[in-house]
Each structure stands twice: as C-alpha cells, then as structure tokens.
A and B are shown apart, each in its own frame.
Chain A
Amino acid sequence: MKMTGKDYIRIDAYEKVTGRAEYMGDLVHKFPDLLYVKGLRSPYAHARILRLDIQKASRLSGVRAVVTGENAGVDWGKFPQQSRMAVTETLWAGQTVALVAAESLEEAKRAIEAIEVEYEPLEHVLTWQESFCERPKSVVDPKLPIHQPGKPMHFPYPNVAGEFVQQKGEIEKGFLEAAVTVEGEFWTEKRVHSQLERAAALCAYEKDGKFTMWCNGCGIHGVVKKALAAAFPQIPYSDIRVISPYTGGSFGNRNIPYVELPCFLMALKTKGTVFYEFTREEMFTAAPTNWVCATKIKLGADAEGRLTAKELRLIEELGAAAGNEAYTGRLSGSSTANTYSVPNVSFLGCSLLTNTVPAGPYRGLGTPDAIFGLELLMNELAEKLHMSPLEIRLKNIILRGEEDDYGEEITSIGVAQCLQQAAEAVELSVPCVQDGSEWLYGKGIACCGKQNGPNGRSEADVLIHHDGSIEVRVSCDNHGMGVSTALVQIAAEELSVEPKQIRLVIGDTDRTPFDNFSASSSGLYRTGGAVRIACRDAKRQLQEEAARMFGIPAELAEIRENRVYLRGTYVKSVPICELFRPLSMFEQDVWGLKQGTPVRGHGVFCPAQAVPWDEKGRTPRMWNWFQYAASAVEIAVNQKTGQIKILKIANAGDTGSPINPKIVEGQLEGAAHMALGFTVQEQLLYDENGKVKNASLGDYRLPLILDMPVNENVKVCICPDPLPDGPYGAKGMSESVVSAVGAAVAGALYDAAGIKADHYPMTAEMVLRLLEEKKAVHDEKERRQT
C-alpha cells in the first residue's frame, strides 16, 4: 500500500478550519487565578541604568512581583541572550529592565508605568557599517573570547565576535586562469519573522511543587526544557513539564526560548500560574530578528563560463549577541559553498555585534542574504561571456557525487531541474515586451542550496492497540508546516494501513519521547526517520508473537493491512487484533500480548556526526545533506515611482521525494510570498535612540495578499532528487525555497531597467534612486558628446 507521495488531507485541517484547534490564547481562559506578566523595556539601544526604583510599583493593587535584573537571583549568563535582563547596562532598545506579575494585564501595565528608571544614554552602533571598524562608537561586548592577546585576527575590530576561514585550491591561480572576473559588494537589512501567533508562555506552579509550561516555542524537550533546567538548576529536571499546543508559526523566531524563561522566573517568584505574551510591538522590538549579511565577492570564469575562482568575504551581523561563540560567519557562508563547483575558493567570514536585539535564525539561516550577491555576479559573468543566466548556472552546478567547498560528497542535488522548470514557467528565454508606458518589464532567475546540520536526535513511540488503533507519539515542532500529516503518512506506509487509522500524539514532555527541535528543515527527515524505526520495532514484536502462536520463524510472518500473513503453517492470515488475548482479573502467568496492553515500538534516529574541519576549513563530513531551489520572476518596474510589481513567480524546490506533494506545494507558494516581502519591502527602521520606529504591522510592510501575483501566476515545481538516507527519499525543503527569490528579482530589475541592486529590500525609494543615478550618468554622457 502506497501512503507516501500522496496528497493526503492534513490531519489538523478540520480542527483548524472549525476553530477548535487550541492555541496559547485559548488556554488563558482555563486558569481563573492567572497572573499576567509584563516587561519594562529599555528605550535606548545602549544606556547605563543609574537608578531603578520599583517601590511604588510593588505597592500597587494587584501586583504580585516586580523583578529586576539585579534582584532576580539568577545567573543571567545561563539565559539565552534575548531573555537576559539588563543589570547595569542595556545593550539594545527593547531589552527587559524589569518584569511585573499582576492579577490583571491592566494592573501589570500600571505597575510598569510606575517603575522609575534613570538612564544615562551611551553611544551605540546599529548597523554593520557603523560597527565594522577599528574604533566603533560602542563596543558591545568588551570581553569577547576571540580578542585574546597574541591571537591573530583577520579583522582586528572590537565588535568582531568570531571568524571562519576556508580555502580550497589556490585562489591566485584560479584568477590567473580566468578569462573574465567580476566583483561587487552586497548587503541586506534587518527583518522580523512576523509569524501570526505572538510569542507566549503559560507556566503553572503545581500543588506538588512541579512546573507545567505551555508555550509556542520550538523544541519542547531539546530547547525549552533544557534551557529551563540550565537556567534554574535548583529545579529537578523531571519537575518540569513542557507542553506545546497548536502553534501559529515560527520561521526560526521561536527557536529561542526568550519568553519561556522570564515566564518561568515569574512563576517561581509568585508561586502562581503566570502568562507572558509579547505584544505585536514587542515582536518587533524584543524578539530576535534575522541576522544581516554583508558580502564582498569576486568571481573568475574561463572563456567557456566555467568558474575558476571564488573569493568571498562575509560579515554576519548578529545584534547584541554578547558572549556567543557559535557564530563566525560560517553558517551563512555555508550556503555559498554547496551549489557551484569551483576549484579555487577563499572564504573569510566573521560575526559582528551591534546594539540591536540579538539575532536568531530566520528561515534560510542567512542563505537568502549570503547568496544574493553571488547570484547577481553569476548574471554579470553570463553577460560578459554572452551567455544566458540559465546557461551559466547549469554549466557550473555541482553534480551528484561531486564535492562541495568543504570537500564533502553531495548525495542529492536537483538544482538543475529546479532551474530548468522555473525558467520554463516564466518563459525566461522570451524577452519581455515593453509597452511604452511608465512600466518597464523584465525577467530574472536565481538558484541556491541550503545545508542541513547533522545535529540532534529524534525519538518516536508507536503503539499498536488490540482494537487495531495505532498511536504515534512524537515531540517534533508543529508550527503549521505540515510535518504532522507527513509523519502519519510515513507510519501508515510502514504499517500498510490507512492514515486515518493513526492518531498522532504530539508535544508533551511527560508523554511524548525526546526530540531536539525541528530547525534546519529537519523535522520530517529526523522525526520521520525515528517513526520508521519505531514502526519496524512494533512490527517485529507482532511478528514474533505471531511466530510463537503458530510455531513458525518470525520472518515467515508479514504484517500488513491490519493482518498477519503467515507462511509455513495451515493458517494463511489472522487479524492483528486476534494476536491479543483477553486478560481476566485473576489470571496468572500472563505473558504474551494481552488486550489493553499495546505493542510499543520505539525508534531513535540521529544523523552521523560531522568531522571537525582542518586548518583550511575542510572536512569530509559537515552538513549531512542539502536542499536546493530555483526561483524565476517576471516583474514590472515603475519608472516614476520606483515600485516593483511581481507579475509572475515560479518557485521550484528540490525537496527530495515529497511525502505529501500538496503540502510541499503550499510551502513553495508561502515561501514565494514571504521572500517577496522581505526582498522587496520589509525592513526594520531605527530612530536616533536605536529604537525600532516601525514596530507595527501597519508600518512594517509585510506583504498583503493583494501584493502578490494572482494564483495562476504563482507557479510551483517540485523537482526531487531523492535523498538516499531520507524517509522514502524525502528531505527538508522549507528554507532553500525562500532563498533565491531576492536575487531573481534583482536580476529581473536589471533586465527591465538596466539597474543593479546591491542590497535588499529593493524598496520603491531605492529603485527610484538607482533609476535617477542611471539617468544622470546617461545625461552626462550625452552632454559630453554634444
């Protein structure tokens, strides 16, 4: 029975469309004695706290606790940066200065207003341009470990937090062999994930002294519970229970438990049940953003268009991620290393701090930002060599079995197919017709790859009950991407039953087995792997029982369609439910399968670990596998206003073999919309104090549905190259598919108007400026000629 590769209806569809699905906001009404938490936030990007007086606030009616960085009684070093409260100094505007728990939200707000703070504003740096220098106005973290005396740095700047170097071949030789070279500098801006459901946590201090937390954070075991246990070492690990209700999106934002930890702290302080939910404004000012990438790239190619050399400098701007050594520019840089085969490579990356909210992963982990310039330079090479952007890409992509820049073998790569299908969908080879209006028309294409780290561990339990019902228990994240349905399909395929026979139990650390988190597009791959193993474990137990009952070797029993098929005995098959014997109250010696005690299969899956890289940054195993995508667009650019209109978009993804193609198509469409938003119009803006000044959905220009091309002009293509070690050939897909859109739009902008974008978002103002600059150059030329 084939249950994967099919458009099975989402298992959560009915609950969601009927409004029965419960989210964080629905839980609030179940706790009559709920306390509400509210944070006081720094209005300055960088300031010293001279005086902080909570006396008045503490005495207000309904106030149960007022906590400051000083009196919290915790080690802030054990908290993720985004959840650290300021003690003597604030490092970003929006950092928590005090927390209040009160009997109503109104009382909590009043208490916040009654807290008296005196700040001494200090100099701040908000952008990579301000921070990446020898003498920045503000040094965000003076104690960075990388700045040890005698330790040579490539960028000896005080706000540089980490570095990564990679070398392959000989870069000078590569450029000598080049017939043409191109180079450029590119960067991107800050954006927010804008998931529909705001960050929220509800923590109950139970009668027996244990804690139960409901939250919409990722990784209930591997992130939330682990972080709580680390930050509050006095609480025994098993006294913490974390439950995930239905959640409304994350896109990387909820990989950091920035609301869970303060919520737990307030439950501990009040010994009550507390609820902490960010406002939409706080989602802009106090929740992690993406990190910005700035790149300086030089490419060389021979006369046939084959890349000979790639030199890349990359800055990853992380905000005020003080004390974090995990970031070195390597994560964003990895996306520039896996798509094109280049014999000579020199990569130098670094991470950089500023006085903005500490960044977190944003769908793509820096891929859209890092590859933007690389993809635009591929277009420039093509132009110089009189090739098409499609042709030059196809000529240089890595083939299955070849190596990436790290030196590891690529086992699944469908990017060529993605490129071809995306190009076809917008008829890339047919030039746009200009109609003489104020609109100019153009087409563009780009592609990309995104790595998946071999980190984490997923477990699954599969219970087969005597009545034939099947339960799958997992703890992977379920933010709406559709993994829950795909896991049910995987179990259905393994057990050869209809998906509707399977019930998925998900997201409760007391009941569902361990899972790290589903980051890096790995939910399906990793948890799916565990479900398969668990199903096989359960099947094996049934086979063994059948073998015992009928006196045959276990391998002669086959489980499918709710029956055991037997060979070598007088019975051809029996229903599985008949393997379970009734169990009476006084029966003795009750071994074997009994009614009421399900067969319990357990599966653990973790990818093989990476091998440490050598001094050249190379290793035979670093990233596990890669997802690929290509996007092509047709756009119109208004010569008078600079506005870009997207007329057509084709988004093609190498998703491995899709378990549920319909859900994958939905992801491809959603990704196109999201990426068009952040590459064309979304951007965080800061005022003179470093505070976000467009902190609302009114002023932050998240695209609306009417900003998108009509449905028939949004084309999606699934181009699978099956992943050998993925469940039924599947791999993750949701990050690569947002990553090539920006470069495709910029390519189309050049095709339409002959202007080159060096950063995004490509707002109307920016495009108009480029158009004016081009006109000025043109006018100047004409003036000289006459």
Chain B
Amino acid sequence: MYFERYERPETVQEASALLREERESRILAGGTDLVPRLKSGAWKTKMVVDLSRLEELQGVRYTKRGLELGAMVRLAALQEERSLQGAHRLLGECAGHVSSIQVRNMATIGGNSCNASPSADTAPAMLLFNASACIRRGDTEYLLPMDEFYMGAGRTALEQGDILLRFVIPKQPEHTGAAYYKYSIRGDSDISIVGAGAKLVLEEGRIQEARLAFASVSAKTIRIQEAERMLLGQEPTKELFQEAAVLCAGLCAPITDQRASESYRRKMTKVFAEKALASAFRRISGI
C-alpha cells in the first residue's frame, strides 16, 4: 500500500481544499473498502485524506428538517443508536446487516453510500425514507436526493473534491412501517443475493404511500416505482403484496455472478419483496 501523503484535516474547509488541490486523492472514512483496495492495487492514489477529525460529520440528531445523520457515524454506533424514532429505526437495523462486527466497528454510514456498492445494505433505507445527501462542493453546501446520488456500481453523483457531510432524512408520517430483508447464504457477513426494503404509510385502511427499494439486483440500489404505484390507494392484503412482488421480480435487473444466477436473484426478489411488504405492514403502529 503506497501513497505519498496522508492528511487529517481539522475542518471541512481544509479538507475540501486538500481534495481540490490534489486530484489524485481519496477520502478515508472507515477504511473498510479503501484500505483493501489500496493494498490489492485496485486503487492507486497519491494522497489519503482522513476525515475522522471533522466534528461536523459526526452525530445523530433530529432537527426541523428531520433526522440529520453525520456521514462519519460508524455503523456499529448507528446500530446501537437509541434516539432513532419510529420507522427510522430501520436505519439502525440496516447498519447491523452490513458485514461483520469488526467491519461495522470501523465502517461509516457515509462510506457505505459513497462506496456505492449495489449490495450496500443501508442504501435501500435511504431510498425508502426519501433521504437527501448534504454535500459540500467548493464553498457551498447543497442537498441531493439519494435517488439521484447512486448512479451505478461504484459510481455516485459526487465529484472529485466533494465531501458528503450528512444525510437529511425526513420525518415519517405516523402510520409508517418499514422493513428490510437481507438474503445471503452466510448471514450478514456475506454479501447479499438480494436486499429487499419496503415502506408503507397507511391511512384509513388504505396505502397512502409505498416505497420498494432493492440491493444487489441492479447496477445500483433501485426503487421499483411501478410496483409502488400499483400499491397506492389499495387495501393491504397478502394477494396484493404477492402481486407487487411479482412486478418487482419482473422489473429488477440482476446479473449472474459468483454469488447467484440472474434467474435465482429474480426469484428471490419476489420472495423477499413479499416478506418485506408483509413485515412493513405488521410494523405500522396501532394496527
């Protein structure tokens, strides 16, 4: 593992300047993806910028914008976070699904999104909750919906020099239920064959809002909006969920790789979309 410079800036401004000054630089958050890639030679870089000193990227708090989740919050900490409210607790659950305890102790929620692995376990929750990324670009900050953040396998909307500061996750309506299933052969330590997330908002017995988000069945984390639309205004039933799950299986775009074949992934998308919907429904409070 070779690089010429290692920097640990104290402020976001300093970090941003460093990253813009050296184009061949990489951000170190938890390091669980960066270090193995530098070691194997898959990535080469001149400078590593360690963000661990930046206070602004820490913390989990509720503001009037909703839940603000610092990009440098470690997955293990998020998993244990008690301040998460209502359906937001799913974020902690998803963090707990990422890899092993050793990895979660180091890896960060921001890193899990910036790495943009199609199998990232926290990404579906971001889409379910309509989260936005708060990004520092040059001297300005802006919000980008997470739907637009993930662009492909390993690709995000971030440009060289950008820093993901935090996620802003809107408060969820009262009758919201959300669930995520990770299906892999060896539990959380393994990479998923499919990750299926569902969120349902119920009003007067009918589905007012539905979201379905999937990991590992496309080049990026995706929503299946046709299935979401199909659920709208309907009364939640087992048959309805089955129908939606069939749509998801048809519309996802999995590949065959060393973990599973394309056709198996599709079948599992159906199985776990249905489970996620049923579980989301069960979790709606007061029902």
**Cβ-defined contact, A703 with B2, below 8 A:** no
**Cβ-defined contact, B271 with A641, below 8 A:** yes
B126 at the interface (CB under 8 A from A): no
How many angstroms from the CA of A681 to the CA of B186 in the assembled complex?
9
Smallest beta-carbon distance A115→chain B, Å? 15
Instruction: Give residues of chain B (162-194) contacting chain A, Cβ–Cβ below 8 Å.
Output: 183, 185-187, 189-191
**Cβ-defined contact, A641 with B268, below 8 A:** yes
Which residues of B are found within 8 Å of A704, using beta-carbon distances?
186-187, 189
Which residues of A are found within 8 Å of B264, using beta-carbon distances?
764-765, 768
Instruction: Give residues of chain A (742-767) contacting chain B, Cβ–Cβ below 8 Å.
Output: 763-765
- With beta carbons under 8 angstroms apart, the residue of A106, A693, A694, A701 that contacts B186 is A701
- With beta carbons under 8 angstroms apart, the residue of B186, B258, B261 that contacts A707 is B186
Smallest beta-carbon distance B69→chain A, Å? 27
A643 at the interface (CB under 8 A from B): yes
**Cβ-defined contact, A701 with B190, below 8 A:** yes
B267 at the interface (CB under 8 A from A): yes
**Cβ-defined contact, B191 with A698, below 8 A:** yes
A180 at the interface (CB under 8 A from B): no
A685 at the interface (CB under 8 A from B): yes
Instruction: Give residues of chain A (688-737) contacting chain B, Cβ–Cβ below 8 Å.
Output: 693-694, 698-699, 701, 703-704, 706-707
**Cβ-defined contact, B185 with A764, below 8 A:** yes
- With beta carbons under 8 angstroms apart, the residue of B183, B189, B261 that contacts A641 is B183
**Cβ-defined contact, B185 with A685, below 8 A:** no
Smallest beta-carbon distance A395→chain B, Å? 38
- With beta carbons under 8 angstroms apart, the residue of B258, B267, B268, B271 that contacts A694 is B258
B255 at the interface (CB under 8 A from A): no
A640 at the interface (CB under 8 A from B): yes
Which residues of A are found within 8 Å of B246, using beta-carbon distances?
none
Which residues of A are found within 8 Å of B260, using beta-carbon distances?
765
Which residues of B are found within 8 Å of A681, using beta-carbon distances?
185-186
Smallest beta-carbon distance B6→chain A, Å? 17
Smallest beta-carbon distance A432→chain B, Å? 23
Name which residue of chain B comes closest to A684, CB basis.
B258
Smallest beta-carbon distance A438→chain B, Å? 9
- With beta carbons under 8 angstroms apart, the residue of B187, B191, B258 that contacts A685 is B258
**Cβ-defined contact, B261 with A765, below 8 A:** yes
Which residues of A are found within 8 Å of B23, using beta-carbon distances?
none
Which residues of A are found within 8 Å of B261, using beta-carbon distances?
765
**Cβ-defined contact, B187 with A640, below 8 A:** no
**Cβ-defined contact, A106 with B267, below 8 A:** no
How many angstroms from the CA of A655 to the CA of B186 in the assembled complex?
32
User: With A109-B41, A768-B264, A768-B267 known to touch, is A699 a contact of B186 (CB < 8 Å)?
Assistant: no
**Cβ-defined contact, B258 with A693, below 8 A:** yes
How many angstroms from the CA of A457 to the CA of B140 in the assembled complex?
77
**Cβ-defined contact, B185 with A643, below 8 A:** yes
B259 at the interface (CB under 8 A from A): yes
**Cβ-defined contact, A703 with B186, below 8 A:** yes
**Cβ-defined contact, A707 with B187, below 8 A:** yes
Q: Number of A interface residues at 8 Å Cβ cutoff, please give it.
A: 20
Which residues of A are found within 8 Å of B267, using beta-carbon distances?
768
How many angstroms from the CA of A698 to the CA of B240 in the assembled complex?
37
A92-130 Cβ-contact flags toward B at 8 Å (1 or 0): 000000000000001001000000000000000000000
How many angstroms from the CA of A444 to the CA of B159 in the assembled complex?
57
Name which residue of chain A comes closest to B191, CB basis.
A698
Which residues of A are found within 8 Å of B189, using beta-carbon distances?
704, 706
Smallest beta-carbon distance B60→chain A, Å? 28
Smallest beta-carbon distance A640→chain B, Å? 5
How many angstroms from the CA of A694 to the CA of B256 in the assembled complex?
13
**Cβ-defined contact, A706 with B187, below 8 A:** yes
**Cβ-defined contact, A106 with B268, below 8 A:** no
Name which residue of chain B comes closest to A698, CB basis.
B191
How many angstroms from the CA of A643 to the CA of B190 in the assembled complex?
15
Instruction: Give residues of chain B (244-287) contacting chain A, Cβ–Cβ below 8 Å.
Output: 257-261, 264, 267-268, 271
Which residues of B are found within 8 Å of A685, using beta-carbon distances?
258
Name which residue of chain B comes closest to A699, CB basis.
B258
- With beta carbons under 8 angstroms apart, the residue of A640, A699, A706 that contacts B259 is A699
Which residues of B are found within 8 Å of A640, using beta-carbon distances?
271
A664-681 Cβ-contact flags toward B at 8 Å (1 or 0): 000000000000000001
**Cβ-defined contact, B187 with A701, below 8 A:** no
How many angstroms from the CA of A693 to the CA of B259 in the assembled complex?
10
Smallest beta-carbon distance A98→chain B, Å? 17
Smallest beta-carbon distance B14→chain A, Å? 30
Smallest beta-carbon distance A685→chain B, Å? 5
Residue picked from B41, B258, B261, most chain A C-beta under 10 Å = B258
Which residues of B are found within 8 Å of A106, using beta-carbon distances?
2
Which residues of B are found within 8 Å of A694, using beta-carbon distances?
258
How many angstroms from the CA of A785 to the CA of B66 in the assembled complex?
61
How many angstroms from the CA of A728 to the CA of B225 in the assembled complex?
72
How many angstroms from the CA of A364 to the CA of B273 in the assembled complex?
42
How many angstroms from the CA of A759 to the CA of B124 in the assembled complex?
36
Which residues of A are found within 8 Å of B259, using beta-carbon distances?
699
Which residues of A are found within 8 Å of B187, using beta-carbon distances?
704, 706-707
How many angstroms from the CA of A765 to the CA of B261 in the assembled complex?
8
A593-630 Cβ-contact flags toward B at 8 Å (1 or 0): 00000000000000000000000000000000000000
Instruction: Give residues of chain A (635-658) contacting chain B, Cβ–Cβ below 8 Å.
Output: 640-641, 643
How many angstroms from the CA of A699 to the CA of B259 in the assembled complex?
7
How many angstroms from the CA of A189 to the CA of B2 in the assembled complex?
39
Name which residue of chain A comes closest to B275, CB basis.
A640
How many angstroms from the CA of A681 to the CA of B193 in the assembled complex?
14
How many angstroms from the CA of A707 to the CA of B186 in the assembled complex?
6
**Cβ-defined contact, A701 with B185, below 8 A:** yes
How many angstroms from the CA of A699 to the CA of B257 in the assembled complex?
10
Which residues of B are found within 8 Å of A693, using beta-carbon distances?
257-258
Which residues of A are found within 8 Å of B186, using beta-carbon distances?
681, 701, 703-704, 706-707
Which residues of A are found within 8 Å of B191, using beta-carbon distances?
698-699
How many angstroms from the CA of A317 to the CA of B190 in the assembled complex?
30
Name which residue of chain B comes closest to A769, CB basis.
B264
Which residues of B are found within 8 Å of A701, using beta-carbon distances?
185-186, 190
Q: Please give 10 more A-B residue pairs, beta carbons under 8 A apart, in addition to A699-B191, A701-B185.
A: A109-B41, A641-B271, A643-B185, A681-B185, A681-B186, A699-B258, A706-B186, A764-B185, A765-B264, A768-B264
Give 17 pairs: A residue, B residue, CB < 8 Å, sorted on A.
A640-B271, A641-B183, A641-B268, A685-B258, A693-B258, A694-B258, A698-B191, A701-B186, A703-B186, A704-B186, A704-B187, A763-B185, A764-B185, A764-B264, A765-B261, A765-B264, A768-B267
Using a CB–CB cutoff of 8 Å, the interface residues on chain A facing chain B are 106, 109, 640-641, 643, 681, 685, 693-694, 698-699, 701, 703-704, 706-707, 763-765, 768
The 8 closest A-B pairs by CB, nearest first: A694-B258, A640-B271, A765-B264, A699-B258, A693-B258, A704-B186, A685-B258, A706-B187
